[in-house]
Amino acid sequence: MAFFEMTKTAIKTLLSTPATILYPAQPAKKTPLSRGHVTIDESRCISCGTCQRKCPSQAIIISKEAKTWQIDRLRCVVCNSCVDTCPVKCLFMDTQYSSPVIARSVELIAITYVKPVKPEKKDEASA
Amino acid sequence: MTKQIIVPFGPQHPVLPEPIHLDLVLEDERVVDVIPSIGYIHRGFEKLVEKREYTEYVYIAERTCGICSFIHGATYCQGIEQIMNIDVPERAQYLRVIWSEYSRLHSHLLWLGLFADSFGFENLFMNAWRIRERILDVMEQTTGGRVIQGSCKIGGVRRDISNEKLDEMRRDLDGIEREIRDLTTVFLQDDSIKHRLRNVGRLSKEDAYHLGAVGPTARGSGVAIDLRKTGYGAYGKLNFQLVTDNCGDCYGRCAVRAQELFTSIDLIRQAVRKIPDGPIDVRVTGAPNGEFFTRAEQPRGELVHYLKGNGTKFLVRSRIRTPTLTNIPPLVRMLQGCELADVPVIVLSIDPCISCTER
Amino acid sequence: MTSEIPETVPVEVGKLIGKVEEFRNGGYRLVQINCSKIGDVYEINYSFDKDYGFRNLRITVTADTEIPSISGMYWGAFIYENEMHDLFGIRVRGMNIDFKGHLFTTAVKFPFSIAPSTLTKDEKP
């Protein structure tokens, strides 16, 4: 008859530190690779549209005329495709989750990339 | 003549991880017949394949299920690679095996916890999930996601694990194995648990084979089917023993899953020892043209992906046949003749993953 | 590798029961029943397995054909045949447990029999 098999585990867990974290009072544990939300360095984006084409949930919309980059945080599934395929590496994956919202909205960011002047042609920079 | 009453079980029930509805026909306290009914979580994945390119469908295939997500993605990639005759590099295949076995560990620990909760042992439930946290931490450190990994792609894997990290994972497994051994000793030796599980939900070997049971539901009744023995991916180069049990009751199915935890740890150790250096992906061009049935072993049983392409970027048909869909007829057979109080334990012993079933 | 090209045998609807009975007597277990819509016809695959060897029967029917049920030989086939009826609208004669269209409750009846819309991925519906 085998009873009290659990005693050893029960006493060990009673006397050790809790296994749970008091989130959100304490921050959640994250690793360097954790996928939280996508951020952009707007001074490097060349508006090529690759991230918009590769996004599987159509969360990114780029407007070349208005020079904006917008993302719908609730559609984004943080799959990392845009970060992987950006040709100038201006997108980064941050480890913290995006914060909760009470209404659907998109995040609009203005692109501040300035095409560098080519000295031999002596043309004005097309901003 | 005793009166028959019908008691609905589910879709909301504390013991079920996902919603399924069973109409139990009772005479006094004994179940005489069961009518299952699904459709609470049907999301139409197979229709979505017409709208998403075949390279992006990996993300959708992975989100079919939250518990067995990695193996869905890996099997879909395997199917497309077979249609397009792509040779996946060896290192990528070993990495897929390592992540699949970690996925199996976390799924079986999750099931052990839910099973303990179904017969009322909540501390045991929490202890199983405490060990599972260590496995999920490893998954997050290597892929970036605890539940949805997103690391398979057509032609290989997206992320590499460095050799130092692999050694660290192998050393951590020793500590995890000791804790798992303590936990499974409680499940298999304790008398109060045996009292709840012995002779409950019997399924004979004949019935298990002909009704189409797969996975631990079949292996718990003595039918030796395990798709990993066919050698897909890197499984052909690894050695392991099939785990079966001849009792055919809930205790047998629990024992099979508890023993499979140790098989998985052993497979991870072998894979870490044998993994070669090299590239982790190949470049993929073109579109799939043709059809294929590809099979893999999920924690719950045999998974079949049927894919059909016609040369364009969108597939014509993707069909996912998950193990729980084929374990429902054996469940109906097991429930006939049992007591009402045993119904949650028996329903949970087939490991129902209803979101896989209904896609 | 398990994924060798499975043997697919095309079969007439009338000879289906005979072939399935051969598999039953040979000790094969039923793996799945699958339906695909190719243009206007439906292709139905019956898959069987024994000792990891995978065999396939295929019948091609139009939308109004009635096919016989194999649940007399494989009791567990009812779940696939009901699913085929609920999603594609194919009528199956003689199922042992007939849900009469209520196994999968969807908002649109027979959703998978509707042709894919012509919208491409980038257009908003």
What pLDDT digit, counting tens, does each position of C45-61 carry?
888 888 878 888 888 88
CB C121: neighbour CB atoms within 10 A?
13
Query: Phi first, then psi: what are they for B126, rounded to 5°?
Result: -70, -35
Q: Which residue ranges form the domains of chain C, and what is each CATH number?
A: 7-113 (3.30.460.80)
Identity of the residue in A10, A19, A35 whose CB atom sits nearest the CB atom of B144:
A35
Q: Please write the tens of the pLDDT for every residue from B107-134.
A: 999 999 999 888 888 888 988 999 999 8
Place of tokens 């300035």: A114
Burial C68-94 (b: 16+ CB within 10 A, else e): ebbbeebbbbbbbbbbbbbbbbbebee
- Any B CB within 8 A of C105 CB: yes
pLDDT band of residue A1 (cuts 50, 70, 90) is low
The helix/strand/coil state of B11 is: coil
Give A125 or B12, the one with higher predicted confidence: B12
User: Which residues are CB-neighbours of B223 under 8 A, at least 6 positions away?
Assistant: B205, B208, B209, B213, B244
| Residue B221 · residue B210 · CB < 8 Å | no
DSSP-derived pairing of the beta strands A91-94 and A107-110: unpaired
pLDDT band of residue A2 (cuts 50, 70, 90) is low
Provide the β-strand partners of residue C44. Answer: C35, C59
Give me the residues of B, 77-136, that contact A with CB < 8 A: 123-124, 127, 130, 133
| Residue B211 · residue C76 · CB < 8 Å | yes
Q: Please write the tens of the pLDDT for every residue from C1-39.
A: 344 556 677 777 778 888 888 888 888 888 888 888 887
pLDDT for the residue numbered C1: 37
pLDDT for the residue numbered A15: 87
The helix/strand/coil state of B54 is: coil
Instruction: Report the pLDDT averaged over residues A10-16.
Output: 85
Alpha-carbon distances, residue B217 vs A56, B118, B300 (angstroms):
36, 18, 8
Q: Give A16-73 as a 3 state SS string.
A: CCCCCCCCCCCCCCCCCCCCCEEEECCCCCCCCCHHHHHCCCCCEEEECCCCEEEECC
Give the residue ranges of DSSP H helices in chain B.
45-48, 57-62, 69-84, 90-118, 122-143, 163-189, 191-197, 205-211, 216-219, 250-274, 323-335, 343-349, 354-358
Six-digit token pair at A48? 């090529």
The pLDDT > 90 percentage for chain C reads 0
Q: Please write the tens of the pLDDT for every residue from B268-310.
A: 999 998 888 888 888 888 888 888 888 899 998 888 888 888 8
Residues A33, B159: C-beta atoms closer than 8 Å: yes
**Residues of chain B neighbouring A79 (CB-CB closer than 8 A):** 59, 150
- Any B CB within 8 A of A52 CB: no
Residues B142, A33: C-beta atoms closer than 8 Å: yes
**Residues of chain A neighbouring B63 (CB-CB closer than 8 A):** 77
Q: Please write the tens of the pLDDT for every residue from A58-103.
A: 888 888 888 888 888 888 888 888 888 888 888 888 888 888 888 8
Residues C104, B229: C-beta atoms closer than 8 Å: no
Alpha-carbon distances, residue C19 vs C13, C25, C55, C73, C100 (angstroms):
10, 10, 12, 11, 27
**Residues of chain A neighbouring B137 (CB-CB closer than 8 A):** 29, 31
Chains in contact with B, counting 3 or more C-beta pairs less than 8 Å apart as contact: A, C
Confirm or reject CATH 3.30.70.3270 for domain A30-115, answering yes or no.
yes
A126, pLDDT greater than 50: no
Report the C-alpha gap between A59 and A102 in whole angstroms: 18
Residues B192, A79: C-beta atoms closer than 8 Å: no
In angstroms, the separation between the Cα of residue B105 and the nearest Cα of chain C is: 23
- Any B CB within 8 A of A2 CB: yes
Mutant choice from B59, B132, B314 vs A, greatest count of A C-beta within 10 A = B59
Report the C-alpha gap between B255 and B246 in whole angstroms: 11
Q: Taking Cα atoms as reference points, which of B256, B236, B210, B272 lies closest to residue B115? A: B256
Chains in contact with A, counting 3 or more C-beta pairs less than 8 Å apart as contact: B
Q: Residue ranges of chain B with pLDDT lower than 70? A: 1
Identity of the residue in B59, B185, B191 whose CB atom sits nearest the CB atom of A79:
B59
A119, pLDDT greater than 80: no
Q: ipTM of this model?
A: 0.81
Q: Taking Cα atoms as reference points, which of B319, B328, B323 lies closest to residue B297? A: B323
Report the C-alpha gap between A1 and B265 in whole angstroms: 30
Q: Taking Cα atoms as reference points, which of B152, B138, B144 lies closest to residue B61? A: B152
**Residues of chain B neighbouring C105 (CB-CB closer than 8 A):** 39
Four-way CATH pick for B43-345: 1.10.645.10, 3.40.50.720, 1.10.10.10, 1.10.10.60 = 1.10.645.10
User: Which residues are CB-neighbours of B197 under 8 A, at least 6 positions away?
Assistant: B119, B249, B250, B251, B254, B345
Domain residue extents for chain B? 43-345
**Residues of chain C neighbouring B46 (CB-CB closer than 8 A):** 112
Residue type, position B106, single letter = H
Residues B227, C79: C-beta atoms closer than 8 Å: no
- Any B CB within 8 A of C63 CB: no
In angstroms, the separation between the Cα of residue B352 and the nearest Cα of chain A is: 26
In angstroms, the separation between the Cα of residue B291 and the nearest Cα of chain A is: 24
pLDDT for the residue numbered C6: 63
Question: Which residue is closest to A6 within chain B, CA to CA?
Answer: B186
pLDDT for the residue numbered B279: 87
Give the residue ranges of DSSP H helices in B119-249.
122-143, 163-189, 191-197, 205-211, 216-219
Report the C-alpha gap between B37 and C75 in whole angstroms: 17
**Residues of chain A neighbouring B183 (CB-CB closer than 8 A):** 9
How many residue contacts between A and B have a Cβ separation below 8 Å?
58
Six-digit token pair at C76? 């567990």
pLDDT for the residue numbered A125: 46
- Any A CB within 8 A of B141 CB: yes
pTM of the predicted model as reported, rounded to 2 decimal places = 0.88
Six-digit token pair at B168? 């660290």
DSSP-derived pairing of the beta strands A37-40 and C29-38: unpaired
